[in-house]
Structure 1
Amino acid sequence: MAERDPRPSPTKTSTRPRAPKPAEAARHACEQLASLIVHEPEGVSGVARHEDGWLVSVDVLEVARIPDTTSLLATYEVRIDERGELQEYRRVRRYRRGAADDC
């Protein structure tokens, strides 16, 4: 009688990379944007699933001023793919820290 191998048989694994979760997508977007521009990201104001990845809105301090409420910030839209790699970015807004959004 032949003995059975107790190890599970190998299963086919997908070669497609696991898509990042929203928090991972935001982190990837911030890291990659910071490597391309002079300024450090301050935070993320939006994360949206895109057809082939994520669209992340990253807020960046561009000009620090005193008082802080007069500092200039910018929002960048950063598109990353399913692997978390940067596809494109663009600055979509520049504003004073103390300014309210137009409604």
Structure 2
Amino acid sequence: MTQTPRNQSKKKAESENTPGPVAVLRSAREQLAELTGLTAESVSSFERTDDGWDLAVEVLELARVPDTMSLLATYAVTLDPQGELTGYKRVRRYERGRADPSRPGG
């Protein structure tokens, strides 16, 4: 199926208005931190979807001494195609010094 020049120009205009991954990740961290009051430390995964973006953001929930005992959480974050946060939820909470249990085969 070939695209008409009009469809091609529409897609080009949409892609020019859509921020790239780096801008989206920076914006998502800032927005989540502003909404929750928590420090977003890193983005552990991201994916562009038909509806925008899905991210997993690692957040410092409770600082402790020593730092390896601090509580972190993974938040599932959704954004629209322009990078505006549309929702988030905590999906995991863990101590910084703890690794996930190993799984068979990997």
Give the structure with higher Rg (CA). 1
Preserved CA contact (<8 Å) 1:55 1:79: yes
The two structures have a TM-score, normalised by structure 1, of 0.79
- 1:1-103 equivalences in 2 (<5 Å): 14=10, 16=14, 18-102=17-101, 103=103
- Gaps of at least 5 residues in structure 1 are 1-12
Structure 1 stretches of at least 4 aligned residues deviating more than 3 Å after TM superposition? 13-17
What is the CA-CA distance between 1:50 and the residue it aligns to? 1.6
Q: Which amino acid aligns with 1:69?
A: T
The two structures have a TM-score, normalised by structure 2, of 0.77
1:16-44, Cα deviation, whole Å (9 max, x unpaired): 46222221121121111111102111111
Total equivalences in the alignment: 91
* Aligned-residue RMSD, C-alpha: 1.6
